[in-house]
Amino acid sequence: MQFDILTLFPGLFAGAFEESIIKRARESGSVTIALHNIRDYAAGRHKVTDDTPYGGGGGMIMKPEPIFAATEAVLGEQADMVPVILLTPQGRLFDQSVARELARHDRLLLICGRYEGVDERVHRYLATDEVSIGDYVLSGGEIAAMVIVDAVTRLLPGVLGDPAATFEDSHAEGLLEYPHYTRPPTFRGHPVPDVLLSGHHAEITRWRRQQAIQRTLERRPDILSSAHLTEEDLAYLARIEASG
C-alpha cells in the first residue's frame, strides 16, 4: 500500500510514522508513505498557497492551483486510478468499515486541508472522496491523515503479528472490545475473572463476546444496531435489557 499525503506541514508527521506498527510496516515494505509539500507546487517567487475568500469573511482559503498541480504531478499516469481523499469536516465519517474499504486499494492520496478550508473546486473537480474523522474542529487535516494511515495499515496482510488481531479490535465487528487482563492475578484486591484462568477456551470466547456486547450496550448503544450479532448474541442482549 502506498500513501501519498499532500500537506503544508510535512514536519508534523515525523514522530507518528517513525514508531511502532507503522515503522515496522514501512521497514518490511508493506507500506510506503510519501509526504508532499503543497507549497512546492505553488507558482511565483513567494509560493503563496492561500488567499482571502471571495465575498468577504474571515480567514484564508487554500488556493486550488497548488493542490491540483501537486496531485497531478504525484499521481501522473495513475491520476484516474487512485482515490483522491480530501480530509474535511464536510466528509463522510471515518469508521472501521471505511478503513476496510480503503485498505482494498493499492494506493491512496490524502489532501490535508488548512485554515478556513480549501477552494470549492478542489471538492468538486479533484477529490474523489471526502472524509472526516469526527465532529470537532482541528487545525488541519494532518492529524486526520495520521489516523487514516494508522487504521488502514493495521488491516494490511502481514502487518500485525496475529492475523486475528484486526477482527478482535474495538469496532472491528461493530462492538467495543471486551475487557483485558494480565498478571498479576490479583492487584490491590481486584482479581482477574475466574473464567480467564480456567483454561476453558470455549467459555473464555463466550465470556469475551458477552462482555463486548454488554460494554457496547452500556457505553455506545448507538452502534449496536449495525453490529454483526448472531442469534446467541441477540438472546444474550435481550436478557441484559430485560434485567436492566
Catalytically active residues, by annotation: 89, 116, 154, 169
Peptide bond into 193 cis (omega under 30): no
Sign of the dihedral through C-alpha 78, 82, 88, 91: positive
Q: Name the residue type at position 194.
A: D
Q: Write the burial class of residue 38 (CB in 10 Å: 0-12 exposed, 13-18 middle, 19+ buried).
A: buried
The cell for 104 is 482494498
CA distance 33 to 12: 14
CA geometry: angle at 163 spanning 158 and 169, to 5°?
A: 115
DSSP code for 85? E
Helix H or strand E encompassing 151: helix 142-154
DSSP code for 236? H
